[in-house]
Amino acid sequence: MEEKVGSWWDSLIKKAAYRGYPQAAVRLDTMEKVAPVFFRAMGGNPALGLRSTVGTEHQGRRSLLERIAGTNDRVELAWADDKSLFLPEQIDLFPDKSLNRKLYFWLLALSAEYVPELSDAKMDWLRTNQEATQRCLAAMPGLAQVYQELVAAYIPLRGSMGMMPAAQAVTEKAIREALEHPGQPLSATVNSLEGIMPVHLWSHPTPPSMPAVRRKDDDDETDAEATLHNQKESKKQRRYRAKQAEQDERKNGPLMIFRAESIFTWDNFVKVNRHDDDDELGDLRAADDMDELAIARDTKKRSSRLKLDLDLPANAYDDTPLGPGILLPEWNYKTQQLVADHCCVQPMLPKNSHPTELPERLQRSAHRLRRQFQALAPQRNRRFGQIDGMDLDLDRVVRFFTEVKSGKAESTGNFYLDTPRNERSLACLLLADVSLSTEAWVGKGQQASSVIDVVKDSLMLFAEALQASGDAFGLYGFSSLKRKQVRYLTLKGFDESYNEVTRGRIAALSPGFYTRMGAAIRQSTEILLKQPAHKRLLLLVTDGKPNDLDHYEGRYGVEDTRQAVLEARKAGLVPFCVTIDREAGEYLPHLFGTHHYVVVPDATRLPKVLTRLYSTLSQ
């Protein structure tokens, strides 16, 4: 009974002390489609992904009721790093839902102009936000009315300055002046933000950060190999302040026969000798209540440490290489230049491929696609009265001799009939991602199948359709294992016919390694540029972001892929991406452009989507 009454009291006191307006709340997930577009339109860095921020403690004054309830000690503010833009997961600051939505747009616009100062002084934070607001309003005058509405509704929420101590009242007055008149200098000097509530219309003064903690003798490539590969970033990513701690060098920690050691795991690093088989660390939600995590580097080598990595198979079991490797450049976004001969692309043929007939399960779909795509095949139109041609125009010949007999003949020489082919000059290269992640399964029950099987079915049906259309096409696959081993599989070259041999290569495909997408796109661009066609289409089929072991994770791989796509487009190609990654909407607009990609949430629909897409793009 005491627990139930306590829970009632806790719920009641927190509800009474809460300052927000839940009935007017706007969540970030309702903005995830329009927010990235608006941010880029405002001039923000298109490489930044959208994430929800985390509440951090503040030094502002709280009411007695809030202190009793233990609420309003944290605040969610906007901020950005070199990879992501962080916004509050929910805004319920105003009683008007439209104002809460406008606040999201204002924070997006301000983040596009905000440049944090290198100095840690609090005054720099206030001045930087004031200057960013001024630049934002100057660059986008249409936001002035929205900003004034937000300021007019926000300042009363900050409380009365008459109840504040003199020093805090001076600081609060300066903040309100900066909000109301961002273009005017402050009338007072701000020395401290102690007791001052944070400003929800500005960027975070000291955003959470996760600085790198490394040994001096670390090797970048070795560290990258030890990381867990292909983990998806959550849209609700938890952020912490980090501090570096010294490693506890004690050989034997305290021996505990109960599970209290999990209490220390989240706060202070303690080496504990465990003598049970349960490796759970307790409730992971304990970390959500912390703003600062201690990080230490263990310099001791342990025989129990496992290093997971992929290795190339032996030559007897590996795919068949085709000639020497091809050296290609790679884009370094940090130096903003191409690094010459940085990657080695190795053309290969799938191992153990045998001539294969079209699987029975695909024959019905293939027959339907062939009938549809035959309509795209070049048609012959008969032209009469030509100077030369393959056949005689009998009507004109008869008419001519009739006129000769009547003495009215006028020789024109146009006695031939020709049926020239109405050529459609188009070449398409389909590049399939066959990385290790394609080993995953999709679908349920008897309809379940691996991603690689779906990709193989898609390639076969795609080839059947294009064979009927008469367009030139090539099929290739790729995976990678660091920059010196980018494996480029030839399934059907442009100079080859689509037949049993080609289908055998497709059927022999198996999941490979990682996804060095930039090098594969550059090699595809070189192949496609050699084709004598007026329109060249480069289709990429993938299931995730570009990644590899040696620094190709994260923004490095994204920026290199984007540069490769820009190079292809500049060369006159039409690059387009088809992906089954549900989170691709966060990064593909930056890579391929807003209208040059499509997300297929249901991987089993990939064959249908691919052929329909080609029919549209080839018009």
Separation CA 481–CA 322 (nearest Å): 18
**Residues 398-406, mean pLDDT to the nearest whole number:** 78
Q: Which residue has the higher pLDDT, 228 or 525?
A: 525
On whether the CB atoms of residues 307 and 229 are closer than 8 A, the answer is: no
Whether pLDDT at 500 is above 50: yes
Phi, psi angle pair for 346, to nearest 5°: -110, 105
pLDDT at 226 over 70: no
Contact 217, 193 (CB under 8 A): no
Indicate the SS3 state at residue 25: coil
User: How far apart are alpha carbons 347 and 334 in whole angstroms?
Assistant: 29
- Confidence label for 207 from pLDDT (cuts 50, 70 and 90): confident
Classify the C-alpha dihedral 37-38-42-47 as positive or negative: negative
pLDDT reported for residue 123: 53
Q: How many CA atoms lie within 13 A of 582 on its CB side?
A: 8
pLDDT tens column, 114-146:
876 544 444 577 888 888 898 899 888 889 999
Mean pLDDT to the nearest integer, 97-121: 80
Q: Provide the pLDDT confidence category of residue 394 given band limits of 50, 70 and 90.
A: confident
Place of tokens 């450049």: 329
Angle in degrees, 0-180, between the axes of helices 360-373 and 451-469, rounded to the nearest 10: 40
Distance CA 79, CA 125 (A): 12
Distances, alpha carbon 584 to alpha carbons 518, 539, 578, 597, 617, in Å? 17, 16, 10, 9, 21
Higher pLDDT, 601 or 210: 601
Closest among 338, 324, 369 to 462, alpha carbons compared: 369
308 has a pLDDT exceeding 70: no
Report residue 42: phi and psi, to 5°.
-80, 0
Please report the pLDDT score of residue 281 as a whole number: 41
Alpha helices (runs of H) in 18-52, residue ranges in sequence order: 34-41
Per residue in 351-378, pLDDT (tens digit) is 889 999 999 999 999 999 988 888 766 5
Provide the 3-class DSSP secondary structure of residue 13.
helix
Mean pLDDT confidence for 454-460: 94
Within the chain, which residue ranges are assigned CATH 3.40.50.410?
A: 320-374+424-617
In the numeric block, the tokens 């570096």 are attached to 244
In angstroms, rounded to a whole number, what is the distance separating the alpha carbons of residues 115 and 76? 19
pLDDT at 345 over 90: yes
pLDDT at 570 over 80: yes
C-alpha Rg value of the chain to the nearest Å: 33
pLDDT at 269: 47
Distance, first Cα to last Cα, the chain? 72
| pTM for the structure as a whole | 0.66
DSSP string across 202-228:
SB-SS---------TT--HHHHHHHSP
Q: What is the spatial distance between Cα 522 and Cα 327, in angstroms, rounded to a whole number?
A: 11
Distinct helix (H) and strand (E) counts, the chain: 17, 23
Task: Say what the pLDDT of residue 230 is.
Answer: 37
Which of 23-32, 63-72, 240-249, 343-352 is predicted most confidently?
A: 343-352
Nearest alpha carbon to residue 590 among 30, 31, 50: 50
Q: Is 252's pLDDT higher than 60? A: no
- With pLDDT > 90 as the criterion, what percentage of the chain qualifies? 33
H or E segment to which residue 586 belongs: none
In terms of pLDDT, which residue wins out, 612 or 266?
A: 612
Most confident range, picked from 59-73, 178-192, 309-323, 421-435: 421-435
- Whether the pLDDT of residue 591 is over 80: the answer is yes
Please write the tens of the pLDDT for every residue from 550-561: 889 888 999 999
Considering the chain, what is the average pLDDT of its residues?
Answer: 79
Angle formed at CA 242 by CA 239 and CA 248, multiple of 5 degrees? 135
User: Which is more confident, 213 or 360?
Assistant: 360
Considering only residues 149 and 124, tell me which one the structure prediction assigns the higher pLDDT: 149
pLDDT at residue 94, as a whole number: 92
Q: Is the pLDDT of residue 326 over 90?
A: yes
Q: Is-contact 486 431, C-beta < 8 A?
A: no
CATH assignment of 320-374+424-617, among 3.40.50.410, 3.30.365.10, 3.30.420.10, 3.30.70.260: 3.40.50.410
- Identify the pLDDT of residue 268: 46
Measured CA to CA, the distance from residue 547 to residue 482 in angstroms comes to 9
- DSSP character at residue 182: T
362-388 burial, b at 16+ Cβ within 10 Å, e below that, comes to beebbeebeeebeebeeeeeeeeebee
Q: Are the CB atoms for 296 and 245 separated by under 8 Å? A: yes
Half-sphere exposure at residue 248, Cβ-oriented, CA atoms within 13 angstroms: 13
Residue 303 pLDDT > 80, yes or no?
no
- Give residue 554's pLDDT: 82
